[in-house]
């Protein structure tokens, strides 16, 4: 998606705010979607804060947007920025709940959202690697399944969900 340099940070931040790893769907900007609503709020906040309109937002501006978001909304965020090999995180604000981490990366002149990280319910030992919550469903979805039917006609052609033809054999 091509966006003006200034707005790339707001689009990335909006996607990070509404991102849920348990829900895999396409990002939609038209209509009353969560990501569009978050973007519209961030856009209004950037106009209130008088951000520059001619250049890409820097870390200071993104942290100001996050701070304004946190003062106005129940869902709190904490932004982590990657610019090359440098990582910067937004200041910690007292908010009651643990804020949702949002990771943004500067790719030349545009900001990209990577994802947010969710703490596991229980500590993961350092010797193991964690899988996303939805990894099992992705593996299961990748395996083709065959619809099993009974037929009196032994020469009937059956189809699997991968549209492969399978000839039934007489018993």
For residue 89, list its beta bridge partners.
Answer: 80
Cβ atoms of residues 105 and 112 within 8 Å: yes
The CATH class, in words, for 5-115 is: alpha beta
Is residue 37 helix, strand or coil?
Answer: helix
- Domain boundaries defined on the chain: 5-115, 135-167
144-162, pLDDT tens digit by residue? 434 444 444 455 554 444 4
User: Which residues are within 8 A (CB) of 24 and not within 5 positions of it... i.e. 6 or more apart?
Assistant: 134
If one counts every other C-beta atom within 10 angstroms of the C-beta of residue 88, the result is 14
pLDDT at 95: 62
As given in the structure block, the two tokens for residue 64 are: 């100001």
Mean residue pLDDT of the chain comes to 69
pLDDT at residue 78 greater than cutoff 60: yes
pLDDT at 30: 81
Is residue 102 helix, strand or coil?
Answer: strand
User: Which residues are within 8 A (CB) of 83 and not within 5 positions of it... i.e. 6 or more apart?
Assistant: 59, 105, 106
Work out the average pLDDT over 70-90.
Answer: 86
96-135, pLDDT tens digit by residue? 678 888 888 888 778 888 764 444 444 444 444 444 444 4
Strand 77-83 with 86-89, pairing: antiparallel
- The residue with greater pLDDT, 62 or 117, is 62
């Amino acid at each position: 998606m091509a966006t003006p340099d200034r707005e790339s940070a707001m689009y990335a931040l909006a996607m990070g705010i509404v991102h849920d790893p348990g829900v895999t769907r396409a990002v939609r900007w038209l209509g009353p979607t969560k990501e569009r609503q978050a973007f519209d709020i961030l856009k209004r906040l950037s106009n209130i804060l008088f951000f520059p309109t001619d250049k890409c937002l820097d870390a200071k501006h993104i942290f100001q947007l996050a701070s304004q978001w946190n003062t106005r909304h129940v869902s709190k965020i904490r932004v982590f920025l990657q610019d090359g090999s440098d990582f910067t995180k937004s200041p910690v604000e007292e908010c009651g709940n643990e804020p949702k981490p949002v990771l943004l990366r500067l790719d030349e002149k545009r900001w990209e959202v990577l994802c947010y990280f969710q703490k596991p319910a229980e500590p993961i030992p350092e010797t193991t690697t964690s899988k996303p919550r939805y990894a099992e469903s992705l593996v299961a979805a990748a395996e083709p399944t065959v619809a099993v039917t009974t037929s009196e006609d032994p020469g009937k052609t059956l189809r699997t969900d991968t549209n492969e033809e399978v000839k039934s054999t007489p018993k």
